[in-house]
Amino acid sequence: MNWETINGVFTLSFDPLFTTAIAAILYMIGVGLRRKIAFLTRYSIPAAVIGGLVMALITLFLHHRGGATVKFQTTLQSPMMLAFFTTVGIGGSLGLLKKGGRALIVYLCACWGLAVFQNAFGASLAKIFGIHPVLGVMAGAVSLEGGHGAAAAFGPTAEAMGIAGAKAVAIASATFGLIAGGIMGGPLATWLIQRNKLELSASQDALYKTHPDLETMSRETDSFDLFRMLTLVLALMALGSMASGWFNDQAKNVWKWQNFSLPGYVGAMFAAVIFRNLNDGLKVVRLHERAIELIADISIGIFLTMAMMSLRIWDLYDLAIPLIAILLLQVLSIAIIAIFVLFRLLGRDYDAAVICSGFVGHGLGATPNAVSNMSAVCERYGVISYKAFLIVPLCGAVLIDLVGIPNIVWFINRLAAAFPVVTP
147/220 same-domain check: yes
Q: Looking at the structure, do residues 378 and 405 belong to the same domain, yes or no?
A: yes
Q: Are residues 94 and 56 both part of a single domain?
A: no
Per-residue model confidence (pLDDT) at position 210: 45
- Determine the structural domain holding residue 306 and report its residue range: 80-418
- Domain termination site, one of 43, 76, 109: 76
Q: Which residue has the higher pLDDT, 208 or 112?
A: 112
Report residue 258's pLDDT band, with 50, 70 and 90 as the boundaries.
low
- Asked whether residue 70 falls in the same domain as residue 101, the answer is no
Residues in the chain, overall count: 424
Paired sense of beta strands 68-72 and 9-14, if any: parallel
- pLDDT tens by residue, 164-214: 899 999 999 998 998 888 889 889 999 999 999 999 887 665 455 544 443
Same-domain check for residues 265 and 332: yes
- The count of domains in the chain is 2
Evaluate whether residue 41 is within a structural domain: yes
Mean pLDDT of the chain: 86
Domain end call among 76, 109, 140: 76
What pLDDT, in 10s, does the model give residues 306-335? 888 887 887 777 788 999 999 999 999 999
Let me know whether 194 and 91 are in one domain. yes
Q: Are 350 and 344 in contact (CB under 8 A)?
A: no
Q: CA 128, 312, 169: angle at the middle one, nearest 5? A: 30
Q: Do residues 177 and 327 lie in contact, with contact meaning Cβ atoms separated by under 8 Å?
A: yes
Examine residue 204 and state whether it is found in any structural domain, yes or no.
yes
Distance CA 79, CA 94 (A): 26
Q: Give the C-alpha separation, 157 to 116, whole Å.
A: 19
Domain-terminating residue out of 76, 102, 135: 76
98 falls within a domain: yes
Residue 424 lies inside a defined structural domain of this protein: no
Residue 242 included in any domain: yes
Q: What percent of the chain has pLDDT over 90?
A: 40
Mean of the pLDDT values across residues 6-15? 78
* Helix (H), strand (E), coil (C) string for 194-206: HHCCCCCCCCCCH
- As a whole number, mean pLDDT of residues 237-254 equals 87
Examine the domain organization and report whether 134 and 84 are in the same domain: yes
Give the count of beta carbons closer than 10 Å to the beta carbon of residue 92. Answer: 20
Question: 72 pairs with which residues across the strands?
Answer: 14
Q: Tell me, yes or no, whether 160 lies in a domain.
A: yes
Q: Look at residue 423 and tell me if it is in a domain.
A: no
Distance CA 97, CA 82 (A): 25
Please write the tens of the pLDDT for every residue from 331-375: 999 999 999 999 999 999 999 999 999 999 989 987 778 888 888
pLDDT tens digits for 131-155?
999 999 999 999 999 888 889 889 9
Proportion of the chain above pLDDT 70, given as a percent: 91
- Residue 371 in domain: yes
User: Cβ–Cβ contacts within 10 Å for residue 380, how many?
Assistant: 12
- pLDDT higher than threshold 90 for residue 384: no
Same domain, 60 and 169: no
Instruction: Report in angstroms the alpha-carbon separations of 275 from 162, 188, 239, 280.
Output: 35, 39, 11, 8
What is the average per-residue pLDDT within 387-407? Answer: 82
Q: Please say if the pLDDT value at position 100 is more than 90.
A: no
pLDDT band at 44 (very low <50, low <70, confident <90, very high): low
On whether both 274 and 359 belong to a single domain, the answer is yes
Same-domain check for residues 140 and 65 = no
pLDDT tens digits, 53-88: 899 888 888 877 766 788 888 888 889 988 988 988
Q: 235 and 159, same structural domain?
A: yes
d(CA 43, CA 386): 23
Average pLDDT over every residue of 269-278: 89
Position 18 confidence tier, pLDDT thresholds 50, 70, 90: very high
Q: Give dist(CA 112, CA 131) in Å, integer.
A: 26
Q: How many Cβ atoms are within 10 Å of 323's Cβ, its own excluded?
A: 25
Segment 236-261 shows an average pLDDT of 83
- The pLDDT confidence band at residue 97, using thresholds 50, 70 and 90, is low
Q: Are residues 271 and 369 in the same domain?
A: yes
